[in-house]
Amino acid sequence: MITKELTIGELAERSGVAASALRFYEREGLIHSRRTTGNQRRYHRTTLRRVAFIRASQSVGMPLSVIGEVLGFLPADVPPSREFWVRASECWSKEINARIERMERMRDRFTECIGCGCLSFEQCALVNPGDELADQGPGARRL
Amino acid sequence: MITKELTIGELAERSGVAASALRFYEREGLIHSRRTTGNQRRYHRTTLRRVAFIRASQSVGMPLSVIGEVLGFLPADVPPSREFWVRASECWSKEINARIERMERMRDRFTECIGCGCLSFEQCALVNPGDELADQGPGARRL
DNA sequence: CCCGGACCTAAACTGCGGTTCATGTCCGAG
DNA sequence: CTCGGACATGAACCGCAGTTTAGGTCCGGG
């Protein structure tokens, strides 16, 4: 059969992603499925691509919420166009570069500041960054 | 009075760290305190330095567990020596550089892989990194 | 002596990205 | 028709780095 649908087990095996994660992605709206009369999930083949995109994006550090937003522009059951990949790639690259720069600035500051031995409050830029790291709110912070 | 001890409120204000966080650090063994007869915390002044070090280390992405290990070499109530700062700085710099390199590799892979439009399983290095990201076990992953 | 603000504790909650568990249903091979 | 493996669901749990809440105690000024 051409364009045969996938069960969750098949999708899990072929994508290398656990079935529990796939159900989770579906709850979060990143992927979609049809249901059989017996309430089981059937995935369109293009879902394989969507999952690949999700994992690739995660591997460069993107949070699922952002990936979800971008995938929102990609209708279900439609294979992602070349344009889509390119646009997404550009978008991600910007983000990653920004993060790398941020880390480089931090490292330089740290060596500088530790090197001078100050580490006293009010003077030290490391202890009081002020610019970055500010207003991240309470709770856990992503590294 | 010289070498006056600090209450938790004072330490919180002077370090810019919430009292709840200071109690948390103490539970985790990163800082220490004496207790008054009324069971209230009194901090040695050098604790201010310890907290500064914790926050600085966090700002470059170090997890508390690792910071705790390093602080373990620094006895309570002893001001950190210059040597200590230098050694810690070297140690952190290595870690940060490793992370930056990792992110650069990822970014390059991503642009390369997305650029070619493949994103198919089994071939794509991004989808199947294999080397990094592997064996991180179940549960949440740090970004 | 009394009052209010600072302090104490343990337990529950946050967000992220899922996993694990308990319990119950579906579906295809024999 | 029956059996076992695949699937369904909701709820609870993991680690991290704390915050919030509830309920109780301490301490200094008036």
Res. A28: pLDDT tops 90: yes
| Touching A: B residues 73-132, CB under 8 Å | 80, 82, 85-86, 88-89, 92-93, 96-97, 99-100, 103-104, 106-107, 110-111, 113-115, 117, 119-121, 124, 126-129
B96 chain-A contacts, CB cut-off 8 A: 103, 106-107, 110
Does residue B10 reach within 7 angstroms of strand C, measured from its CB? yes
A130 vs B44, residue with greater confidence: B44
Tokens of B5: 């001890």
* Average pLDDT over chain A, rounded to an integer: 80
C-alpha closest to that of A44 among A5, A2, A1: A5
Cα–Cα distance, A126 to A4 (Å, whole number): 57
Cα–Cα distance, B119 to A15 (Å, whole number): 11
Does residue A140 reach within 7 angstroms of strand C, measured from its CB? yes
Which pLDDT belongs to residue B14?
92
Number of A/B CB contacts below 8 angstroms equals: 129
Beta strands, E only, chain A: 34-35, 41-42
Q: List, in order, residues 6 or more apart from A42 with CB less than 8 Å away.
A: A5, A6, A7, A33, A34, A35, A36
Tokens of B48: 């201010």
| Touching A: B residues 42-61, CB under 8 Å | 48-49, 52-53, 55-56, 59-61
Provide the residue ranges of all domains of chain A, joining segments of one domain with +.
1-72, 81-133
Average pLDDT rounded to a whole number, residues A114-127: 57
Q: Are A61 and A93 in contact (CB under 8 A)?
A: no
Cα–Cα distance, A96 to B103 (Å, whole number): 7
Among B16, B103, B117, select the one facing A96 at the smallest CB separation.
B103
Cα–Cα distance, B105 to B103 (Å, whole number): 5
Question: A1-72 — its CATH code?
Answer: 1.10.1660.10
Tokens of B138: 């179940």
Cα dihedral A29, B139, A92, A49 in deg (nearest 10): -50
User: Tens of pLDDT along chain B (143 residues)?
Assistant: 446 899 999 999 999 999 999 999 999 999 999 999 999 999 999 999 899 889 988 988 899 999 999 999 888 777 778 788 888 888 888 888 988 998 888 888 877 776 666 655 445 555 555 444 333 333 333 33
Cα–Cα distance, A84 to A63 (Å, whole number): 19
Cα–Cα distance, A140 to A88 (Å, whole number): 27
Q: Beta B34-35 vs B41-42: how paired, if at all?
A: antiparallel
Which pLDDT belongs to residue B119?
58
Confidence of residue A134 (pLDDT cuts 50, 70, 90): very low
Average pLDDT rounded to a whole number, residues A62-75: 91
Cα–Cα distance, A10 to A20 (Å, whole number): 13
Average pLDDT rounded to a whole number, residues A41-52: 93
Res. A114: pLDDT tops 80: no
Confidence of residue A119 (pLDDT cuts 50, 70, 90): low
Tokens 């309570």 locate to B76
Q: Are A121 and B14 in contact (CB under 8 A)?
A: yes
Question: B8-80 — its CATH code?
Answer: 1.10.1660.10
Cα–Cα distance, B66 to B28 (Å, whole number): 11
Which pLDDT belongs to residue A91?
86
Q: Are B99 and A103 in contact (CB under 8 A)?
A: yes
Q: Are B107 and A96 in contact (CB under 8 A)?
A: yes
Among B89, B99, B106, select the one facing A110 at the smallest CB separation.
B89
Beta strands, E only, chain B: 34-35, 41-42
